[in-house]
Structure 1
């Protein structure tokens, strides 16, 4: 299960604080290590000092929580987080929503865009203004009948089992596919979850004329976490989200985790 070592990409703004809060909440649940990182560009001594000051703010925000604080030099914050995560063997990168996004939703900035197309670790994004509850409520997997999602069914089912929360599989019906086939695919995925872990997963077809409408069609619990598998276009052991999945992420009212291709 991801969360054995969480790295938070911290910036001294609302998105950075949301990511910090979410990363802390994840490690409280998993018992994993927590690293807080600020990335700064090379050849910028002033920004290196500012990065250290940012981490001091983060330490004040977290209080007595056990964490490691690291500044890291890189030409891009997304690339820097991914490289650093590999070096310290973190298995989850947590970042916040970009400035200017809708409250309660995820806005993609340069850092998250890089991670969602090249990260070798799982990536979790916090909606703007998100404040996690004390305990997780449910794991939901956005399911499409393809190998990457079939692999994710077993992985997310195992995570739900360990966390002691329900598992839900949802498929979007944008009125362009045969709903009977979609429901048959979901039934096979539910069976796969049962065969893998013994969990009886819930299943739901979300209907709408577009992704945003379909996502509004389903209930989202406080403490929900949405999981997406990487696209078939992803390189092995890399995250890559296609156009439809990016729309799902932007419409989500809860944190979203994206698994790399071949995640285990």
Structure 2
């Protein structure tokens, strides 16, 4: 299960604070390590000092919660977080939304865009203004019938079992596919979750003329986490988010985790 070692990409902006709160909550729930990182560009002593100052602010916000704080030099924040995560063997990178986006929704900037197309670790994004509850309430996997999602069903079912929360599998019906086939595919995924873990997953088909309308037909609990599998176009052991999954991410009102291809 991801969350054994969480790295948070921290900035002094609101998105950095949202990521810090979410990353700290995840590490508390999983009992994993927490690293807070501030990335700064090479050849910029002033920004290196600013990164250290940001980390001091992060430590004040976290208080006594155990964490390691690291300033790291890199040509770009996304690249820096990915490289640092590999070096310290973190398995989850948490970042926030860019400033100026809609409150309660995920807004993708340069850092998150880089991670969503090249990261070797799972990536979690916090909606703007997100305040995590003390405990998770449910894991929801966006399911499409393909090998990447079938692998994710087993992994997410194991995580739900370990956390003691329900598992929900959702499929979007955007009125372009055969509803009967979508239902059959979802039933097979529910069976896969049961056979691999003994957990009885909920299953819902969300109908709408677009992704946002479909997701709005579903109930979302406080403390819910949405998971997406990487695209089939992703390189092995890397994240790459397809067009539909990107739309799901932008329309989500809860944190979204994207798993690398071949995640284990």
Normalized against structure 1, the TM-score is what? 1.00
Cα deviation code 1:159-182 (max 9, x no counterpart): 000000000000000000000000
> In structure 2, what is the equivalent of residue 25 of structure 1?
25
Q: CA deviation at 1:99?
A: 1.0
> In structure 2, what is the equivalent of residue 110 of structure 1?
110
Q: CA deviation at 1:198?
A: 0.2
1:27-176 matches, within 5 Å, as 27-176=27-176
Aligned length: 264
Gaps of 5+ in 2: none
Instruction: Find runs of 4+ consecutive structure 1 residues off by over 2 angstroms.
Output: none
1:225-236 matches, within 5 Å, as 225-236=225-236
What CA distance in whole angstroms lies between the structure 2 residues aligned with 1:207 and 1:102?
Answer: 23
What CA distance in whole angstroms lies between the structure 2 residues aligned with 1:66 and 1:58?
Answer: 12
In structure 2, the residue corresponding to 1:79 is in which secondary structure?
helix
> In structure 2, what is the equivalent of residue 5 of structure 1?
5
What CA distance in whole angstroms lies between the structure 1 residues aligned with 2:228 and 2:238?
Answer: 13
What CA distance in whole angstroms lies between the structure 1 residues aligned with 2:13 and 2:57?
Answer: 10
> In structure 2, what is the equivalent of residue 221 of structure 1?
221
> In structure 2, what is the equivalent of residue 179 of structure 1?
179
> In structure 2, what is the equivalent of residue 248 of structure 1?
248
Q: CA deviation at 1:235?
A: 0.2
Q: CA deviation at 1:114?
A: 0.2
Cα deviation code 1:128-176 (max 9, x no counterpart): 0000111100000000000000000000000000000000000000000
Cα deviation code 1:205-232 (max 9, x no counterpart): 0000000100101010001000000000
What CA distance in whole angstroms lies between the structure 1 residues aligned with 2:233 and 2:217?
Answer: 28
What CA distance in whole angstroms lies between the structure 1 residues aligned with 2:118 and 2:219?
Answer: 31
Q: CA deviation at 1:100?
A: 1.0
In structure 2, the residue corresponding to 1:196 is in which secondary structure?
helix
In structure 2, the residue corresponding to 1:168 is in which secondary structure?
strand
Normalized against structure 2, the TM-score is what? 1.00
**How big is the alpha-carbon RMSD for the aligned residues of Structure 1 and Structure 2?**
0.3
> In structure 1, what is the equivalent of residue 203 of structure 2?
203
Gaps of 5+ in 1: none
